[in-house]
C-alpha cells in the first residue's frame, strides 16, 4: 500500500523574469532571464502526519503548494497526491486535496458564509441538498454555526480563516494544504486554530496536513516532520530533532554561573550572556564539536573566577537553524 | 446533470449578489425607462426620411429601440467573460474556484451566464416599454428572432472568450473589448443604418457580427420576416460563429496554459 499522501520527485519551477521597458529597449533580442522558484524538490509526506513546509519569504513554499493545488504547472519533475499524478490525473488529485489559500479575501463579501460555502460545495460536485447538509455540519464543527447566516464582510479574521478551512473540507479530502493559516490572526485566535488543526483535523479526522509557515514556533508545536526550503531548494528535511539536532560542526549548551562569568574570546565558541534574577548569569554557548573545546571553555571560566552551577546540552531552536542558514551556514545535514 | 447543477449554482450566486445591491438593481430598470423615453422624444425631432437605406420603412424610434435592446448582448458577452474573470482574479475567488475539480471552461461559462440572463430581462423590458408607447412588434417573427438571438449570443461569445484570453495573458489592456464595442456601436447599426454608410466605413461594418444580428432581429420583430428572408444574415452569423468561437476557445486554452506555466493565472 502506498503510504505517501504527497510525493514529489525533482520538482522544479522556473519563472521567466519580466523585463522592464528599459531592458527591452537596451537589448531587445536578449533572452529573458529565468528565476528559479523551485529546484529539484524531492519530498514525501506520509499519510496522517502534519508536515511542515518552512522557509523565509520567497523560499518557494507557496509555489510548491500551488503546484500541488493545480494552479501552477511545474517546469520539471513530477508530483503525486494520494497516488494521483498531477500531470495526468489532475481532477482526481484535486478531489484528494483541500487548499486553504493565504488570501482571506477569497470569498464573496456580499454573501453569507453559508451561501459562500454552498456555492463552492457545488463546484466540488456536491448536489444541492448534500451541499447544504455538509455546510451545516462543517459550520458546527468549526464553531461558525451562529454566524453562518451573516454576510462574509462582517466576519473577523479568525472567522474568515475558519471559513476558508471549511471550504477546503467541503469535499472531505484526505490531504489539507494550509498556506500560512495564522498569518493574519491574533495570538489567541492563532492558538485556537493550531489546536483545531492538530486535534480535530489531524487526530480526529485523520487528515494529512501540509502546513506552510514561516512561524518557527508554530512548526515546532505542530509538525512531526518538516522540510526547510531556501531559495527554492530543500536545505533540510526530516523530523524536528533531526533538523535542529546539531548545527553543522557545533553543539549547543546552556550554563548557569555566578561570579565572573565573562566568556573569554576564542574562535572555537560563541556565547550569549543573560543576567538572571538572584545574580546568576545564563550563558548560551555554541561550541566546536569534538576535541577539547568544551573542556577548555569550562576550565577557562573556572580559572577566571566563575562558579558553574549547571551545564546542560541544549538543542538549537529552528530560529537558530534559520539564523545559521541566513549567515550562509545552511546545507543538508 | 452535474454541469447543469454547477451552472445553476453560478446563476444563484450572481442573483444573490445582485439583489444584495437593491437600489442598483432597481435603478438599472429605471435607467431603461429613461433611455427609451429619451429616444422617443429625440426621434420626434430627428426624423429620417422613410427611404433612407437600411431603415426600409421602419420608424427611427423602433429602429433605435431594437438596436439598444440587443446591443447589450454584445456588452454582456464582452463584460461577462473578461471583466468577470478579472474581477474574480482581483478578489481572489478565481483561485478558490480553480482548485476545485470544476473545469475552467465551466467556471468561465458559469460566470458569464448571469450577464446574459440579465441582458435578456433588460431586452424584454426595452421591448415592453417600447411596445407600450407605440412600437409595433410582430409576434410572428418571435421564433426566427429567438434563433437569430441564439446565434448572436454564440457569435458574440466567441469575441468575449477571446477577450477573456487576453485578460488571462495580458491582465490589463484587453484590446478586443474596446475595439469591438466602439466599432459595433458606431458602425454596426445600433443608432444608424450601415446600409447608408459609404466607402471604407461601410466595408468595415460588414466585418462586425452585430451588423447582421441587428438587421435580422429588426426584420423578424418589426416586419415579421420568416426564416427565408433572414437566411443571408443567418448564414453570415453562422460564418462568424464558425470562425470566432473556435478562435476564442483556442486562444483561451493557450492563454490559460501559458498563465499556468508562468504562475500568473490568478495574478492581475
Identify which of A172-186, A270-284, B166-180, B223-237 has the greatest average pLDDT. B223-237
Q: Given its phi and psi angles, is residue B171 left (phi above 0), alpha (psi -120 to 50 degrees) or beta?
A: left
CA distance B262 to chain A (A): 6
Look at residue A8 and give its three-state secondary structure: strand
What is d(CA A181, CA A196) in angstroms, rounded to the nearest whole number? 12
Residue B173 has pLDDT above 60, yes or no: no
Per-residue pLDDT for B69 more than 70? Answer: yes
Nearest to A99 among B99, B261, B262 (CB): B99
pTM (whole model) above 0.90: no
Give B-chain residues touching A71 at CB under 8 angstroms: 95, 98-99, 260, 263, 265-266
What pLDDT sits at residue A331?
42
Q: What are phi and psi of B77, to 5 degrees?
A: -65, -40
Q: Highest-confidence range of A312-316, B17-21, B254-258, by mean pLDDT?
A: B17-21
d(CA A82, CA B119): 44
CB–CB of B12 and A13 under 8 A? no
CA distance A98 to B242: 39
The predicted pLDDT at position A211 comes to: 94
Contact A73, B261 (CB under 8 A): yes
A125 at interface of B, judged by CB pairs closer than 8 A: yes
Upper half-sphere CA count for residue A10 (Cβ side, 13 Å):
2
Substitution target from B10, B14, B23, B100 for chain A, most A beta carbons within 10 A: B100
Q: Which three cell numbers stand for residue B115?
A: 450577464
pLDDT in tens, B92-151: 898 899 899 998 888 888 988 999 999 999 999 999 999 998 888 898 999 999 999 999
Strand (E) or helix (H) holding B68: helix B60-78
A71 with B5: Cβ contact below 8 A: no
Q: Which of B41, B33, B65 minimizes the C-alpha distance to B217?
A: B65
Cβ atoms B87, B114 nearer than 8 A: no
* Closest residue, chain B, to A90 (C-alpha): B101
Q: How many CA atoms lie within 13 A of B191 on its CB side?
A: 12
Residue among A216, A239, A228, A215 nearest A329 (CA): A228
Q: What is the pLDDT of residue B1?
A: 46
Low pLDDT (below 50) residues in chain A: 1, 329-333
Q: What is the pLDDT of residues A225-256, one digit of tens each?
A: 999 898 899 988 888 777 766 566 778 888 99
CB within 8 Å: A73 and B98: no
Residue of A nearest to B15 (CA): A111
Q: Exposure of A295 by Cβ count < 10 A (0-12 exposed, 13-18 middle, 19+ buried)?
A: exposed
Supply the pLDDT for residue B83: 81
Over range B200-213, report the average pLDDT.
Answer: 90
Mean pLDDT score across all residues of chain B: 87
Amino acid at each position: 500500500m502506498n503510504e505517501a499522501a504527497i510525493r514529489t520527485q525533482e520538482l522544479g519551477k522556473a519563472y521567466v523574469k519580466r523585463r522592464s521597458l528599459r531592458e527591452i529597449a537596451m537589448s531587445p533580442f536578449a533572452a529573458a532571464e529565468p528565476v528559479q522558484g523551485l529546484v529539484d524538490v524531492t519530498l514525501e509526506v506520509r499519510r496522517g502526519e502534519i508536515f511542515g513546509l518552512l522557509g523565509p519569504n520567497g523560499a518557494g513554499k507557496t509555489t510548491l503548494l500551488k503546484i500541488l493545488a493545480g494552479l501552477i504547472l511545474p517546469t520539471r519533475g513530477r508530483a503525486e497526491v494520494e497516488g494521483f499524478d498531477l500531470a495526468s490525473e489532475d481532477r482526481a488529485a484535486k478531489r484528494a486535496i483541500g487548499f486553504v489559500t493565504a488570501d482571506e479575501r477569497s470569498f464573496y463579501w456580499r454573501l453569507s458564509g453559508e451561501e459562500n460555502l454552498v456555492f463552492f460545495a457545488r463546484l466540488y460536485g456536491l448536489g444541492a441538498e448534500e451541499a447544504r447538509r455538509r455546510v451545516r455540519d462543517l459550520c458546527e464543527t468549526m464553531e461558525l454555526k451562529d454566524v453562518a447566516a451573516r454576510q462574509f464582510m462582517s466576519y473577523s479574521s479568525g472567522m474568515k480563516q475558519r471559513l476558508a478551512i471549511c471550504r477546503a473540507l467541503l469535499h472531505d479530502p484526505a490531504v489539507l494544504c494550509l498556506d500560512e493559516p495564522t498569518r493574519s490572526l491574533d495570538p489567541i485566535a492563532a492558538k485556537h486554530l493550531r489546536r483545531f488543526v492538530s486535534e480535530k483535523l489531524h487526530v480526529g479526522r485523520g487528515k494529512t496536513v501540509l502546513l506552510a509557515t514561516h512561524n518557527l514556533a508554530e512548526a515546532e508545536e505542530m509538525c512531526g516532520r518538516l522540510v526547510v526550503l531556501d531559495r527554492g531548494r530543500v536545505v533540510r528535511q526530516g523530523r524536528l530533532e533531526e533538523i535542529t539536532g546539531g548545527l553543522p560542526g557545533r553543539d549547543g549548551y546552556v550554563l548557569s554561573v555566578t561570579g565572573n562569568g565573562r566568556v573569554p574570546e576564542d574562535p572555537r565558541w560563541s556565547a550569549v550572556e543573560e543576567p538572571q534574577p538572584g545574580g546568576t548569569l545564563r550563558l548560551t554557548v555554541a561550541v566546536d564539536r569534538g576535541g577539547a573545546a568544551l573542556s577548555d571553555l569550562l576550565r577557562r571560566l573556572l580559572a577566571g573566577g566563575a562558579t558553574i552551577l549547571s551545564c546542560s546540552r541544549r538543542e538549537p531552536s529552528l530560529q537558530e537553524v534559520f539564523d545559521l542558514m541566513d549567515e550562509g551556514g545552511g546545507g543538508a545535514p | 446533470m452535474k454541469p447543469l447543477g454547477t451552472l445553476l449554482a453560478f446563476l444563484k450566486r450572481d442573483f444573490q449578489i445582485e439583489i444584495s445591491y437593491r437600489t442598483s438593481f432597481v435603478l438599472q430598470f429605471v435607467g431603461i425607462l429613461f433611455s427609451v423615453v429619451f429616444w422617443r422624444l429625440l426621434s420626434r425631432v430627428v426624423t429620417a426620411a422613410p427611404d433612407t437605406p437600411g431603415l426600409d420603412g421602419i420608424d427611427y424610434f423602433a429602429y433605435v429601440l431594437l438596436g439598444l435592446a440587443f446591443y447589450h448582448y454584445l456588452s454582456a458577452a464582452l463584460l461577462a467573460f473578461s471583466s468577470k474573470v478579472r474581477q474574480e482574479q482581483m478578489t481572489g475567488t478565481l483561485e478558490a474556484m480553480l482548485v476545485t475539480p470544476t473545469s475552467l471552461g465551466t467556471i468561465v461559462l458559469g460566470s458569464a451566464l448571469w450577464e446574459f440572463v440579465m441582458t435578456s430581462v433588460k431586452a424584454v423590458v426595452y421591448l415592453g416599454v417600447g411596445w407600450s408607447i407605440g412600437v409595433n412588434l410582430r409576434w410572428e417573427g418571435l421564433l426566427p428572432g429567438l434563433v437569430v438571438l441564439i446565434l448572436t449570443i454564440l457569435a458574440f461569445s466567441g469575441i468575449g472568450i477571446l477577450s477573456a484570453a487576453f485578460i488571462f495573458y495580458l491582465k490589463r489592456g484587453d484590446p478586443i473589448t474596446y475595439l469591438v464595442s466602439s466599432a459595433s456601436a458606431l458602425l454596426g447599426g445600433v443608432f444608424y443604418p450601415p446600409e447608408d454608410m459609404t466607402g471604407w466605413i461601410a466595408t468595415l461594418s460588414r466585418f462586425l457580427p452585430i451588423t447582421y444580428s441587428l438587421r435580422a432581429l429588426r426584420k423578424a420583430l418589426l416586419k415579421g420576416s420568416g426564416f427565408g428572408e433572414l437566411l443571408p444574415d443567418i448564414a453570415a452569423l453562422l460564418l462568424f460563429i464558425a470562425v470566432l468561437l473556435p478562435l476564442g476557445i483556442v486562444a483561451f486554452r493557450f492563454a490559460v496554459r501559458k498563465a499556468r506555466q508562468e504562475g500568473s493565472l490568478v495574478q492581475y
